[in-house]
Chain A
Amino acid sequence: MRGFGYLSKEGVRSVWNNRMMSAASIGVLVSCLLITGAAMLISLNVNNVVEQVGKDNQITVFLKDDIDELTAIQKVGPEIRHLDNICDCEFYSKDQAITEWESELGPLFGELQGEENPLPNAFHVTMVDLSQYGETVKSIKSVEGVDMISDRSEVAKRLTDLNRLVTQVGLWLVAALGIVSLFIISNSVRMTMYSRRFEISIMKSVGATNHFVRTPFVIEGIVLGLISGVLASCIIAFLYEAMMTAVKYIVPITEIPYDQLAVEMTGGFILFGMVVGAVGALISIGRYLNMEGGEILGW
C-alpha cells in the first residue's frame, strides 16, 4: 500500500508527541494486563494442584476385624484386583500400620503390638480414573470382608470448585478490564485526534480516503498496546517469582515454573494489548470520519 511507511511513522510519532496521555494509557493498560495475568496464573496453579491431587488417586480399603492376613491376601485381595478401574492393590497389614503410627506419634503405640493392635488389616488401592471414584468405591464395598474406605472425594471436589471459582472470577476480570482498557485507549486516541483535528480537516479537503485518515491513529493504538504488553510481561515475570517464593513458604505446593508460561503469557499480553489498542482507536476515529470541514474543527 502506498504511503504506509509515512502513515506508520506518523502513528509512532504521535505516541511521542502526546507522551503524557500515552504514558497514562500505558499505565492503565499495564495495570489491567497485570490483574488479568495474575488471575490467569492463580487459575493455572490451582488447576495444577488439582491435577496433582487427581494423580494421587490412591485410597485405603479397611477390612473387617475378623479377616486375618491369610484370608485377606488369598481371597479379598484378588477379588478387588479383578474389579474395573483398579490399577494396583497392595496389602497393608495392621502390624505395618501400628509401626508407622509408632514412628510418627511416639512409643506409646509400640505397646499395641500383636493381639493388642486395634487397627484393621487394609489394602492400598490405586484407581485408574478418579472421576469413576463413586462407582469403584461401591464395587469395592460389595466385596466380602471389606469394612470401610478412606474418602478423598471431598478434597478433590473442593479443589475443583476453587479452580472453577478462580477461572470464573478471572474471566469476569478479563472482560471488565478489557472494557476499561478499551475505554482508556479510545480516550487517549480521541485526545490525539482532537489535537490533530486541524490536520484531519486538511487531509479530507485534499482527498485523503478514510483509510488514510484512520491508519495513523490505529497504528498509534497498536503501538500503545504493544508497549503495554511488553511492560506487563516483564513485570509479571518478576512478580510471579517473588509471589511464588512467598506462597511456597506458607503452603508447600509445586508451582508451574514461569519458563513454561513465558511464551504464552508474553504473546497473550502483547496480542491483547495490540487488539485493545486497535479497537479503541477505531471506536474513536469513527466519529471524525463522518464529519466534514468546519464540523471537524467545531465551527
Chain B
Amino acid sequence: MLALLPQLLLTGITIGSIYALIALGFVLIYGVTGILNFAQGEFSMLGALVCATLLAWHLPLATAALISVAATCVLGALTERLAVEPAFGAHPLTLIIITFGVSMALRGLALMLWGADPYALPEFTPGPPLVLLGGVLVRQAVWAIGLSVAVVGALFTFFVRTVPGAAVRACADNAFACRLVGISPRRVSLAAFTLSAALGAVAGIVITPITGATYDMGLGLGLKGFVAAVIGGLGNAPAAVVGGYLVGIIESLATGYLVPGYAGAITFLVLLAVLFLQREGVLHGAQRRQA
C-alpha cells in the first residue's frame, strides 16, 4: 500500500500543476469581473487541439505551441467581446449561464472540426522516464510541473512589478475607483479573458503528451480547476495554485487507493465539503485566522 504512495504523489503533483494553471485562469477572471467562467476548460482543449493540428502540418513543436496559445488568446478575447461584454452588468446568474453556453458551443464546434477521436502530441523532450523517490516520472511531467511553476512565477511578477498588472489588481479591488483614475474595467476584463485563455492553452498543450487531447477534455479539466479555485477561495491566486496541487493529489490518491471510477466523485465531495465548511475556501479561511 505505502509503496504506491510516492508514485501517486508524483502523478498527483503532475496533474495538479495543470489544475493550478486552470484555477489561476478562473481566479483571474473572477477577481476582475466577478464572473465564474465555465468555459475555462475549453481554452485548454482548444490550445491542445490547435497545437496537434499545426504539428500535423509539419510545423516545429515550439512554433505550433506558440501559435496555438496566441490563437486561444484571440478566442478568449472574442469570448469576452461577443458573449460577456454585451451582458455587462447583468445578474451574475445570467453571466454564469452565458459562460456555460460558450463552453457548450466551443465543445460542439470542436467536435464538428476535430471529430471524437483523441489526438496526441509528442513529449517535448523524449527519453526514458526518470526514477525519483521510488516513483517513476515521465519526462513530460517535469515539463508540466516546471512550466506551470514558471508561468505562475511570471504571472505574479506581472501583477506585482508592472503597471498593467497593478491595473488588473486595482480593478479586482474596486472597479469604480479604477474608472475614476482612468483605468477602463472593460479593457481590464478583456485582458483578463485573454490572459486566462493563454493560461488554459498552456495547460492543455503541456498535458496532452501524457493524456492525449479530445474535444471533450475541457469539461473535466475545467471542473477540476474550478474545484481548485474554490478550495483556494476564488479571490486568492496563490491559494488557487495550492488548491490545484491539492486537487491533483487527492484525485491521484483516490484513484490509487479507492475504486478508480469513484475518483471523479471524490473531487466533487471535496468541493461540497469546502463549500459547506467555509464559503471563502479552506486556505483563505486559515490565512484569515492567522491574521
Partners in one complex: no
